[in-house]
Amino acid sequence: MSTKLVPHRKRPVDVVVISDVHLGTYGSRAEELNDYLKSIKPRMLILNGDIIDIWQFRKSFFPPAHMKVVKRLMKMAAKVPVFYITGNHDEALRRYSPATLGKLQLVDRLDLTLHGQRYWFFHGDVFDASMEHAKWLAKLGGSSYDMLIRLNNLVNWFLVRTGRPRMSFSKRIKQSVKRAVAYIADFEETAAAIAIREGYDHVVCGHIHQPQIRRITLPTGSVNYMNSGDWIEHLSALELVGQEWRLYVHGMDQEQVTTRRARPEPAFA
């Protein structure tokens, strides 16, 4: 008796946001991202910058797994709206934006209204002093970061096989580099302050590789701040299902992830 394989059912998602994939670098976790993309059926996909790392692109290194991600994204763009928002590592694309190719749109920022709420999507490098005042240092930092990730991956390979927990080298070093180039202000609060001033209900960024969903309240008002993280260390994405945003982390029990309603609950005295 023959058995018929049943195809894996893809998980429906209304909106998916990913950023900081850095295809073309040794640190990019393209295989895991491809597995994630194969598992979902989004109605809209937002690529929030630094998808292809043009700064560090070299013809000698673009593995098949990285190309599979590109092909899968293009396949998705043939079926659903895909917005590619430019970041600093793919800033060369900014000379061509805005541009439209079928359902694929290349933009520098994105304004959307979802469930009656205003959203501002952008990568976030406009807040980074290293982008404005010391680009050469930022590029050097990007190259050094890639080398650090390669070393970190090797160490973690050994740690996992000896039964010890994984560790991250980059967080403390990266924070000290940001301070060295006089980071303008706290990234999240700066994004929130501008979003509040411009009348947005939600602001969604990438760039700093720190996945987050939280409500930020300032003297001028409050806003939902979200960051899609990265596919180097955190392997994270933002997902909107119905009226609820959640932070997806690859390999993590999804019951543990942060969620927030897209339309805030009414407040009662």
The DSSP bridge partners found for residue 18 are 47
Task: Give the helix/strand (H/E) hosting 112.
Answer: strand 110-114
Q: What is the pTM of this model?
A: 0.79
> Model confidence at 257, in pLDDT bands (50, 70, 90)?
low
Fold of 12-124+200-261: Purple Acid Phosphatase; chain A, domain 2 (3.60.21)
Q: What is the dihedral of CA 34, 171, 143, 56, to 10 degrees?
A: 30
- Closest C-alpha to 232, from 19, 16, 21: 21
Q: Is the pLDDT of residue 61 over 60?
A: yes
Predicted pLDDT at 262 = 61
Domain ranges (residues) in the chain: 12-124+200-261, 129-183
Q: Is the pLDDT of residue 151 over 70?
A: no
pLDDT digits (tens, 9 = 90+) for 7-52: 578 999 999 999 999 999 888 999 999 999 999 999 999 999 999 9
The DSSP bridge partners found for residue 178 are none
